Amino acid sequence: MTAKRGIRLEKIVSGGQTGADRAALDVAIALKLATGGWVPHGRRSEDGKIPARYAGLIETDTEAYEHRTALNVRDSDATLIFSFGEPKGGTALALKLVRSSSKPHLAVDLEATEPAEAAARIRSWLETTGVRVLNVAGPRASGELRAAAAVTRVLGAALGASDN
């Protein structure tokens, strides 16, 4: 599987948390894109240590989630934010940080947007912006059980190999 024509994406980064973050990394791995991003010291996440299969992750010098969120916004070309309704917690922080930066971002509410429409919006945005390094943020698994499956489906469809 490779990314669709017109999309220049080379790398997906995230904070490595359960839910949306890991789903985005899994999509990147399936598409043979590079992965990376800043993660808390000790590869800390809500389910323990972030698994070693997620390559390219760089530990910060603190266990604070907020610090890695800020670094991932700073060090990426653009940020894609998934939510289910109003963003909460770290997802809301990512949105606040990206809005205060000069970097492109797209917020997708998966409660209010059908998966096919969300995928089309993401694909169009990536083609228009020419993003090479994409930061993906969204709810953790404990805050939204649907996050991983929804992000996998929508991001996978946006970046999928088929142009049909």
Helix or strand (DSSP H, E) at 49: strand 48-49
Per DSSP, 110 falls in state: T
Domain ranges of the chain: 11-159
Q: Which fold has domain 11-159?
A: Rossmann fold (3.40.50)
Residue 103 has pLDDT above 80, yes or no: yes
Residue 163 has pLDDT above 60, yes or no: no
Residue 27 has pLDDT above 70, yes or no: yes
What is the predicted pLDDT for the residue at 160? 86
What is the predicted pLDDT for the residue at 107? 98
Residues 112-160 pLDDT 10s: 999 999 999 999 999 999 999 999 999 999 999 999 999 999 999 999 8
What is the predicted pLDDT for the residue at 159? 96
Q: CB-based burial of residue 17 (10 Å sphere; 0-12 exposed, 13-18 middle, 19+ buried)?
A: buried
Residues 72-84 pLDDT 10s: 999 999 999 999 9
What is the predicted pLDDT for the residue at 162? 45
Q: How far is CA 11 from CA 55, 82, 133, in A?
A: 12, 18, 5
CB neighbourhood size of 10 (10 A): 14
What is the predicted pLDDT for the residue at 6? 82
Residue 161 has pLDDT above 90, yes or no: no
Residues 46-81 pLDDT 10s: 999 999 999 999 999 999 999 999 999 999 999 999
Tokens of 55: 């390559």
Cα dihedral 29, 158, 105, 118, rounded to 10, equals: -130
